[in-house]
Amino acid sequence: MSDSEDNEEQAPLQQAAESDESRRAPAVEMNASAFLSPIQPFLATPGDPPLPWKIWKQQFSTYLLATGLTTAPKEQQLAILLHSLGTEGQRIFATLPGTGRRPMRISRWSDRLAQYTYKTEFRPGKSNNVADTLSRLVPQDDVTEKSYFDEEEDELFIQQTFIDELQAAITPEELARETLQDPVLKEVLCYMKTGWEGPPRDILLSPFYMVREELFSWNTSCIGRGDRTIVPTTLRHRVLTQAHVGHPGTRKMKQFLRSKVWWPKMDDDVTTFVNNCVPCALSEKSLVPETPPLQPTPWPNGPWEKIQVDIFGELQAAPAHQKYLIVVTDLYSKWPEVVATSNVTTATVITGLSDLFTRWGQPQVIMTDNGPQFHADFTCYLEKKGISHQKTPLYHPLANAGVERFNKVLKYGLRALLQEGRQFSDALKTLLLSYRSTPHRVTGRTPAELMIGRTLRVPLDTVRPPCVTDKPPDDAKLRKEVQKRQDTPSSCRMEPSGIPEDCFVPSSLLEKNWMLRCSFPNNLTMIQVNSQTSKIRDRRFPMGMCQKQEHQRSHDQLVKEDYPLDSMTLS
């Protein structure tokens, strides 16, 4: 490698066609050049790799991997140091006066050339015939428009590496100067001197109006809120940078800034700053993936039309022949089936599913994960049966959520039943009976009702009146309710309240919930439940005796009129 004048660097790479007769006869010689920015010649260090090394490496990588590489440094000492990588080079390196460990720049050169087969050769300057003329005749357009180096990127790199780390602390004088130049804070100062006549029309001043009682002025033109300083817009990025020096998380950074500074929407700015921090993202510290929108699986048209299959185990507390469980759930009725086995090979899974098919018939679709049991022979078995096989995406158990949710029921249910001292087989049967006879949260019906058209008789049925009969489910109404539950999150699910006509709100219940009460003449009392619900009653009569009372009922905290009132204290 050799350097040239006029802010240029050349990379003549010689492919040495070594033979028994001559080892130094170059077969092919290639040259490349790159113009440097005005600052880059001052960054060069003798012995360091040339700045455009990455670009040259991309251009000549194919030739370097195919043939050998001969390096021709400009100093003999550098050549000897490079050659010291081998055994013979170490002996030569040891004979040089004042030598110690290998310099870091030589180590960096060695790392860059480690993937190539190369030898070190010293060549005097008079015999170093390179294509110097070609490198000096680069068109001017290439210098300005097609330069290998972008000056803006270099300036940005230097700024991010050095300047951002050395930002000075904000002085009170600088804070006062920037506050006067901030149009919003300047107007806030005027309002603080003249007084706030009312809510300002400018939306940017509304946050300051809400805390106007806490604002004060210090250092002539600096504004504070309580014991915190209000930072102007131009200084907020510096404040965020200084607060994020140790790369704390969003919560820690908010706690730190809340005790020292304030400005409107500061928490949002902190969250954006931390999420856009490149080092935090590279270290996966602030890389929090967003939860995608919920996409429920379409509800099938009938029972045992679409089922989900999964493997559960290995169970340490189970006998040897029941270490693994083949779990099957029906998406329509939520009916579970469990087959206990000693192993989970493909043949075992096929045998277990065949037993279920003889009892319930063949489904149209089977959903599984990408386990090794559900490939090859299993796919061929389903093709012969005419069953469609759907696989979930890799590492995405939510796509098979029905059976995965039942696995959780199995896990904790079996653990609790085994703690009671039951046998594993008995515990599994008890859990399945309880699950099949309990109304499901999504359908509102028991799995048995939707699967076999009737409820399963359990010990508690002995206390039911003989006249009570279970009505068959209405498919259209049930489908509408299931769709509503699937499309609405549980936290904001709106269910029909079914309020009877003979309902009212007892005052004692409202008093416990800190509701507003006020008295009126003629012994009338108005109980205001909220902005949409209120009730008026006569205090002289116990609840339920006055038939002409006017009630405006709410959707919650309602009881029937025959509610026992003996223990209530009327006001």
Please give the structure tokens belonging to residue 358: 């003889």
- pLDDT of 359: 92
Instruction: Characterize the bridge pairing of strands 550-551 and 516-520.
Output: unpaired
Beta-bridged to residue 308, according to DSSP, are 329, 367
Is residue 299 included in any domain, yes or no? no
Same domain, 30 and 108: yes
Backbone torsion region of residue 334, taken as left when φ is above 0, otherwise alpha when ψ lies between -120 and 50, otherwise beta: left
CA 504 to chain centre: 47
* pLDDT, mean of each 10-residue run, the chain (571 residues): 42 42 49 64 56 60 58 49 49 48 63 67 65 56 47 53 59 90 91 87 90 87 89 92 86 89 92 85 64 75 92 88 93 93 92 93 92 90 92 83 90 89 90 90 88 86 66 67 62 40 39 38 51 50 48 39 37 35
Is residue 566 included in any domain, yes or no? no
User: Position of tokens 């469609």?
Assistant: 388
Same domain, 445 and 323: yes
Is residue 358 included in any domain, yes or no? no
Domain end (from 99, 121, 148): 148
Is residue 92 included in any domain, yes or no? yes
Domain housing 427: 306-342+392-463
Is residue 478 included in any domain, yes or no? no
Backbone φ and ψ of 309, nearest 5°: -125, 140
Nearest CA-CA partner of 570 in 525, 516, 514? 525
Same domain, 28 and 79: yes
Is residue 116 included in any domain, yes or no? yes
Same domain, 210 and 278: yes
Same domain, 105 and 58: yes
Same domain, 73 and 192: no
Whole-number Å distance between alpha carbons of 529 and 552: 10
Same domain, 330 and 421: yes
Reported as a single tens digit per residue, the pLDDT across 278-322 is 887 777 665 555 566 677 778 888 999 999 999 998 888 889 899
User: 81: buried, middle or exposed (CB in 10 Å: 19+, 13-18, 0-12)?
Assistant: buried
Tell me, what CATH number does 186's domain have? 1.10.340.70
Reported as a single tens digit per residue, the pLDDT across 41-55 is 666 555 455 555 555
- SS3 of residue 246 by DSSP: coil
Is residue 95 included in any domain, yes or no? yes
Q: Please count the structural domains in the chain.
A: 4
Tell me, what CATH number does 448's domain have? 3.30.420.10
pTM of the entire structure?
Answer: 0.42
Same domain, 30 and 143: yes
Same domain, 24 and 58: yes
Is residue 355 included in any domain, yes or no? no
Same domain, 317 and 246: no
Instruction: Characterize the bridge pairing of strands 306-313 and 365-368.
Output: parallel
Concatenated DSSP letters for 162-227?
A: IIGGGPPPPPHHHHHHHHHH-HHHHHHHHHHHH---S--SSGGGHHHHHTGGGEEEETTTEEEETT
Same domain, 332 and 445: yes
Same domain, 445 and 528: no
- SS3 of residue 34 by DSSP: strand
Q: Are 228 and 211 in contact (CB under 8 A)?
A: no
Which long-range contacts link 439-444 to residues 24+ away (Cβ below 8 Å)?
440/334, 441/485, 442/334, 442/482, 442/485, 442/486, 443/333, 443/334, 443/478, 443/481, 443/482, 444/478, 444/481, 444/482, 444/485
